[in-house]
Structure 1
Amino acid sequence: MKFARLGPIGHEKPAVLDDGTYFDLSTIAPDIDGKFLSTGGPAAARAALLAGDLPKLEHAESLRIGAPISRPSAVICIGMNYAAHAAESGALPPEIPIMFLKTPNTVVGPNDTVEIPPTSTKTDWEVELGVVIGRRAAYLASPAESIRHIAGFVAANDLSERDFQMNVSGGQWSKGKCAPGFNPTGPWLVTPDEVEYQNLALRSWVNGEPRQNSSTADQIFSVDFVIWHLSQYLTLEPGDLVLTGTPEGVALSGRFPYLAAGDTCEIEIAGLGRQRQSFVPASIERHQNA
């Protein structure tokens, strides 16, 4: 199944996409969140859809597409999980997963406009497979258990400010990862039965020019291993988002310019959809008065 959230920011309606038509899930649940995912929401939605009990979402084609999950309690990220990306970053492939965090308020719609931070000089793109947790995961016994805790998969753009990340970080990466809007997510949350998640094509473009072109088959640490590994050190809650790393082809490589106001970035993951962001200067006054 493909779940989505459509509508203005803060007023998104939960929906399911079936054969090109969006159906309103408001009668099943108020939102697509940890509670929905962990208490049988997807099964209830499937049954209602098959029974013909879900109304079509009116004017869906004209609605903004929000992130397909409401704000998670945590966004956990894995760094340098593709050997070629580690190499273009000037590092050896890691022997154990590298973990860092993004703040939950970075999660925005897949096509929302993104503001470049006022002092940014090195805003970068990163297409990534995102994993949405559907059942609490703590101290899993083996990677084989991971899939039982996964609600589905999303496309995500792990936007990064490399100067903040590398040079003013104090040794931690998260300063370069947490600007508002730095995690466009979606358009859909796709359930595991529809996703061959360890063999998905990932691509990105800037201003229409190709950048990244790889596959999750090239990951150093598989999705199952990542979820198991993280569960040994923290508890993953329903609705949490785990980003599993980006392949080569980013501006950090030195082969491409960094993003600037007026640029557009597109990312796509096979079966999970495509997204497109336009970049503009940050409005300090808007953020201070929000």
Structure 2
Amino acid sequence: MTRATNGPVAVLGLGRMGTGLATCLLDQGIQVRVWNRSAERAAPLAERGAFAAAHPCDAVEGTTAALCTVDDGEALGAVLRGPDGVLARGPYPGVLICASTVAPEEVVEIAGDLPSVLDVGMLGNRDHARDGELRLFVGGEKRVFESVRPLLETLGKEVVHLGALGSGMRMKLLLNLLMGVEVQAMAEATELAAACGLERQQVLKTIAGSGFASPVMAFKSRRLASGRFDEPDFKLRLMAKDLMLASKQAASVGLNLPLAAAAAETHVRATEQGLGDEDCAAVVRALTPNPGSDT
């Protein structure tokens, strides 16, 4: 069996996905060094044997690969090039794997002239991350990809090299575009049905069991049925960010994507209404006159 890595791996950013990735690596007996802006998130991983670092530059010390799973481009830039960042003590000799969803051009700009950088679009949720069941879409030089393929195959059931740096982000943005539009469409259909007198639970059950429902819609229909959007699988504000990034990508290549633009507008409005840290299915609350009311 091919070894997943020849040395420790750093995981920078311990949100739901980062924590899942670190847990998966620990389960495989791989040495893991972790960092998070709020240090308390590292405690459960430290109890399992991970080294919890005070700064990103400490986390990557002695590692062969570093997975960055922070929220956005600003956070990614700070983790890499900030005063205590990965590059604060000089060039990083391992492979930097940017799994944060940012604009493709931004990951290229942040990477600069670093020789070994990949961007990875991750498809899946925290359970997939923990269980090594993600689908990973990778951009970057082929030689760099091959050097960490065993590591990536530990984390994902499907690992695809797409091409140049930025390709992974392009795939991730279009996938999130589909999810954002699908979930909003289901929320709109459900609100229309309820407003016209149909019973909400029956409508959602019918949608989830129909040929129109994707696995994501079937999954999110349970969120809409319960009206519970806490403990998010994917935060609404991150969906808003990704939809805006997808819309900007479309504009940059001269495409008009009306559905993407409309979904981005709705998600941004929902974020402004204070729903940003709830699950992305909470976009339904931006469709009603009183977004704070129960759905």
| Structure with greater contact order relative to length (CA < 8 Å, sep ≥ 6) | 1
Report the TM-score, using the length of structure 1 for normalisation.
0.27
Q: Which structure has the greater CA radius of gyration?
A: 2
Report the TM-score, using the length of structure 2 for normalisation.
0.26
Answer 1 or 2: which has greater strand percent. Answer: 1
Answer 1 or 2: which has greater helix percent. Answer: 2
